[in-house]
Each structure stands twice: as C-alpha cells, then as structure tokens.
Structure 1
C-alpha cells in the first residue's frame, strides 16, 4: 500500500494533503503546533491555512513528532518554508531516509551556499539524487483547494522516481508533467517569487498593464540568464514549468509574494507585511539568496537587484522603480 509522510503545516502542505487523501492515500502529517494537530484530528481541517478544505479523517494521521512521521512512509514530502528547512533537518538521522523517495516542494535558497532545497536535502540527509525530486507549478494552493484545473511539474534525474511520484498527484483536475532538470526548476521557482514581489510593488505604486507587461517580459530574460548559468541542460523557456510558473506568480491575486510586494509599496515594513499576510512570502528570503548567487555568477539582473535593495538596503520603492523605467527594455 502506498503511504506518504508530509512535513509542513501551511497552505501548500494542506493542498497537497487534500490531493493525497482524495486519492485514498494514507497520509502522515507533521504539524509543529500541538493545537493544530488537535484541530485536524477533531475537525478534519487545517484551522489557519485553507480552512475550507475538508480532509478525510480516516486517511490523515497528524502528529507533532517529526521522527515518528518520517518513519511511517516510503514517500516523504517536504513543504516547509525554505528559511525553516535547516532547522527542520537539524539533527535528523539520515537513516530515516534510506531507500525512500523524497519530494521537495520548497521554493527558495537554503543556507550560505544558496542551494536549491532538493540539493540541500540530498547533501544533508544523504539522499541519492535518483531518489529526490522537486515539485513546481504553475499553480496556487487556493485553486487546488477549489479543484480548479491545475498543472504540476515533477522533476528528477531519474524518470522512474518521477513516475512513482506522479501516481500520487493525478486527479481529474490535475495534469502532471515530468521534467529532468531539478536544479533549473529550483532556481526558476526561486526567481518567480522575486518577480511576484516586483509585480506587487508595481501594482502598489499604481503602475498599469503597460508597465507590467514590460516588467514581466524583462523578468523572463532574467530567468533565462539564471538558467543559462546552470550547466547540463538545454531548457525551453516557453515551457510552462519555467515561463508559466513565472506568469501566474506575476499576475495572480492569489500570489502571496505579489500581495507582499504591494504591502511594501504601500509603506509597510517587511515584518509588518509578513504579519498582515499571516503566511510566508518565499520571495522575501529568496531575494537575498538569489542576489548572492547572481553576484557569484556575475549576472546582470536589474529587477532582482532592485528588489534586493528595497528589501535589504532600505532603498526607496519609488526611486528604484523610476530607475527600472529607464532600465527595462
């Protein structure tokens, strides 16, 4: 029997648990807070994230004991914020992952090495690259909650692993696509969240569709430059795994990164914007890690640089976007 362990208690983890339980897959779910565990057990829903989603109580087994959750299933999904991944993995015994398949659904760089999450998990927990995969969009958890048509991309160097994981997620409203470029997909997922912040800032400043179209077309160039810095793959930027994920993050009102950027442009501090969201905006931390990576690679990425300087060097949103008006092509 197929069983899955899910690590993470946010909206994305909740959407994944919804899919798994719809497919009648027993799901062991690590939730950090005891009160969250209690609510899921009693009500079959996550009280804070996607509370409207009703989960089959006979198929979910929530717990705040991480080792216990990890030991229960052969398939493990990490769905925590990138900035929390090191803390979650700290002290974990790599033997817990022996002969298991691990899926990272995390979008952000990890640690001082600015690793993509799948690479970090592989190195830290001694997981062979053939047994670790990445999940990308284009998609939003809110639309999965409503069972709207959704596309997921599974990426691994091993097609057998992709095929095994694909079975977990296929639903009448979900199309699963395979990909052999987990590092490229990882960095594309990181950058698209930074672009989400930029598009939210543009909206908050009152820019219209004309500017937004130029901003996002330039963002595609920046993503392409990032991907070309990663050896080993011939990538088609028009593939929905890359361009599609960037577009949905840039334009959708469901994008928490876009809402975060809009709040910043309206004068809120980053801390207050996060508090107002009530959830993590992955692009906030990702902007710092990706900026460091771009500097290491000698990449010229004006949008990324502007967002970094606004968030981490206290530069004026208005002045940086005025500069972008002159820089974008």
Structure 2
C-alpha cells in the first residue's frame, strides 16, 4: 500500500494529510509537538489550526520522524520557510539511516530571507541525492480551511520529473480536489511565494476602506510584477497565467482565510507589524518574501513599484496612504 508522510501539522499540512487519508492511502502526519499529536490521534481534531474540523479517523500523527518516513513513497514537507533547512537536515539524516529514498514534495510558499532561495533549492542543498528520487512542489489557489470542507479546489503539482508529479497527482485527486501537473518547478514556486506580497497589499486596501476596483487594479498590476520577477529568475511566463500564478493570487488576495490578506487588513486598520505578528500567532510568509524580492529587484534593477511600496510600509514604517498616492500619481504609461 502506498504510504505518504506529511511533515508539519499546521493548517495546510493537516488539510493535505486529511485529504490523502480520506483517499484511502496510509498517511502519517509528523509534528514536533506531543500535545498536538495526542489531540489528532485521540480526538481527530487540530483545533488551533483548523477549528471546527473533524479529521479522518485513519490519519495517524506522530512525533517520531522515523515512524513517519520509514518506507514512505512520498514525503510531503509543509513547514514554514524559516524551518525548511532544519527539517530537511533531520529528514536527510533519517533517510540515510534508513537507507531509504522517496519523492520529496513541498507545499510551502516563500523565499529564504537573505539568499532569496526557493524551497526546492534549500531542500536540494540540505539533502543528499540518494535520499530522494524527485523534488516537486504543490501550489495553487487552495486555502486549507476550504479544502477540509471539501470545497472544490484545483492545484498545480510541479516537477521536472513528470512521473513523480503524476504519482503525487494520483494520491491527491478526489471529486472535490483536482491536481494538474506542471513541469515548471521554478515558476510554480515563485508564483506561490510572490503572490503573498500582493495579498498583504490587497488586505491593506480593504482595511483602509477601498473597494473591489482598487483590489482588482492591485491584483492585475501585481501579477505584472510577479511575472516580471519570475521571468528574470528564469521561470516560464505562462506559468503565471495558471493555477500557481493568477489562480493563487486571486484566492490569496481576495480571501479573509489568507493570513497575508488578514495581516494587510490589520495594517490598513492602523495596527503595527509587531502587533499583527503577535495577534496572528502564525507565520506571515509574505513579510519575509517582500524583503527577499525587494532586495533581489534592487540587485537586478527590476521595476516593481507595488512591491517596493509594500516593503516601505513593512520595513520603513511608511504611511500606507502616502504610498498609495505615490503609486497612483506615477508618470503615466502604456499598459503594455
């Protein structure tokens, strides 16, 4: 029987593990928190991350990484960007000890601060080649809160190894969850990471009282920036018109289920970034990604005025309304 290990029991990791277990696959969810593991195994809930959700009774949680990954066919890494290297190092050691290899797929959307590296790059740096058979990423418009309710969802499974992507596709697919394969791993990862920046900006607009005209303008011009940065980094432009690009941007930039959107909304309402972080209690991936993309664009002289404005608000305590006015009064130009 196919075995899937999911590393990371936050909202998205738990939702994906629940989806796979519901499909009838042997699924083990790893967490470093014993009390969380006990709750999942005994009550079949994860109240902190997915309140009001009953998880599948066959989903097994464990604090033992060996139990999770031993004989796993697919290992799904779903931890915050800042924790990727640490988990990858532990995973590498465990797989070496077990003399085992597997498809390693991640579902984390972010870039490493300072290095600007993608999640797959960090995994490749921390893991020896004999511990994995392929590297892949899951991206697309997919809030965990909706997935666990069996709301209709479509995602992108990206890997240069098409057979690996198809194997992941097979364990995820259900009548309410439709995965598509994509071989542009670079573009899919960038789309999933960069849209969080624009989602923060979208939340800011709504927090300030602006309407859907403003949101639509921001998301559309934000997509131009995402594609500009992505292509500069080597991605395919078409990827940003798919699920990992515009699809993820729409859902993240328009929904209160998005923590990046909620963070932006709180900032628009007048809260400070430290207050927002303390109140959220979860990682806001777009904050660090904004800094990474701003630094990358400075290095390569890319024009990303929206991202730059969001950076000024997050890191230079700039006034949001002043940044919006500056964006709207820039020299007029052609859309193309």
Contact 1:83 1:285 in 2 (8 A): no
Q: Do 1:130 and 1:157's aligned partners in 2 also have CA atoms closer than 8 Å?
A: no
Structure 2 residue aligned with 1:27: 27
Shift of 1:67: 4.1
Aligned pairs for 1:25-174 (under 5 A) are 25-57=25-57, 59-94=58-93, 96=95, 98-127=100-129, 131-174=134-177
- Note if contact 2:202-2:264 (Cα within 8 Å) is conserved in structure 1: yes
Return the alpha-carbon distance in structure 1 between the equivalents of residues 133 and 198 of structure 2: 31
Residues 281, 111 of structure 1: alpha-carbon distance in 2 compared, 3 angstrom cutoff: closer
Give the deviation of 1:300 after TM superposition.
Answer: 1.1
Matched, 1:302 2:305: yes
Displacement, 1:232? Answer: 6.1
Q: Is the 8 A contact 1:86 1:110 kept in 2?
A: no
Partners of 1:124 and 1:229 lie apart in 2 by 25
Partner of 1:240: 243
Q: Secondary structure of the residue that 1:280 maps to in structure 2?
A: coil
Q: CA RMSD in A?
A: 2.0
SS in 1 for 2:241: coil
Q: Residue by residue, what CA displacement relative to the aligned partner does 1:160-214 show, whole Å, maximum 9, x if unpaired?
A: 0011111110011111111011111111111111110000011111122222222
What is the TM-score when the length of structure 1 is the normalising length? 0.93
Q: Within the alignment, does 1:201 sit opposite 2:204 as a pair? A: yes
Taking the aligned partners of 2:25 and 2:319, their CA distance within structure 1 comes to 49
Distance verdict in 2 for CA 1:116–1:243, change over 3 Å:
same
Structure 1, 89-98 or 168-177: larger mean CA deviation: 89-98
Asked if the contact 2:155/2:243 (under 8 Å) is kept, the reply is no
Q: Secondary structure at 1:52's aligned position in 2?
A: coil
Q: Which runs of 5+ in 2 are unaligned?
A: none
Aligned residue number for residue 282 of structure 1 = 285
Instruction: Please state whether the residue corresponding to 1:131 is helix, strand or coil.
Output: strand
From 248, 254, 276, give the equivalent of 1:251: 254
